[in-house]
């Protein structure tokens, strides 16, 4: 198993670089396998959502679709897959940002009564309460 950084996955998802995108595609589609998958951390998933929103101006729906594509790939192992999936659904439904939804989902999975926040948008998500 090898870890995958944000930039490799963004190049794969956007196919926007004539040199790096084909290399990312070759890695993900030909070098990785179910027996020897690529690992994606929750930090990388949050960074992907941020980069797609800020640098590429993807909509929440487009970001959710990109994240879902990674979650569905059998050659990839996503850290805290259930929590990432829940956060992706929240993003798709317009409930808040991916990062906030992920923070809430991980807190719930770790047994937190809630995550205290001052963020009004995060308060719309499961697992958050006012600080």
Give pLDDT tens digits along the chain (131 positions).
Answer: 999 999 999 999 999 999 999 999 999 999 999 999 999 999 999 999 999 999 999 999 999 999 999 999 999 999 999 999 999 999 999 989 999 999 999 999 999 999 999 999 999 999 999 99
Q: How many helices (H) and strands (E) does the chain have?
A: 6, 5
For the packed helices 60-72 and 81-92, what is the interaxial angle rounded to 10 degrees? 150
Q: What is the pLDDT of residue 82?
A: 97
Residues 6+ apart with CB under 8 A from 37: 1, 74, 75, 76, 77
Q: pTM to 2 decimals?
A: 0.94
CB–CB of 69/85 below 8 Å? Answer: no
Q: What is the pLDDT of residue 77?
A: 98
Domains present along the chain, CATH in parentheses: 2-130 (3.40.50)
Q: What is the pLDDT of residue 6?
A: 98
The CA distance from 126 to 56, in Å, is 28
Q: What is the pLDDT of residue 16?
A: 98
DSSP symbols for 30-67: II--SSS-EEE-HHHHHHHHHHHHHTT---HHHHHHHH
Q: What is the pLDDT of residue 3?
A: 98
Q: What is the pLDDT of residue 17?
A: 98
Q: What is the pLDDT of residue 42?
A: 98
Q: What is the pLDDT of residue 99?
A: 96
């Amino acid at each position: 198993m090898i870890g995958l950084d944000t930039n490799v996955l963004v190049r794969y998802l956007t196919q926007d670089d004539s040199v790096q995108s084909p290399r990312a595609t070759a890695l993900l589609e030909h070098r990785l396998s179910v027996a020897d998958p690529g690992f994606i951390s929750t930090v990388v998933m949050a960074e992907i959502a941020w980069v797609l929103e800020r640098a590429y101006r993807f909509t929440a729906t487009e970001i959710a679709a990109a994240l879902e594509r990674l979650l569905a790939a059998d050659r990839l192992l996503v850290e805290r897959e259930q929590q990432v999936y829940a956060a992706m659904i929240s993003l798709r439904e317009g409930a808040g940002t991916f990062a906030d939804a992920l923070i809430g989902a991980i807190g719930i999975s770790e047994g937190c009564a809630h995550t205290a926040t001052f963020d009004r948008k995060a308060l719309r998500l499961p697992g958050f309460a006012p600080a």
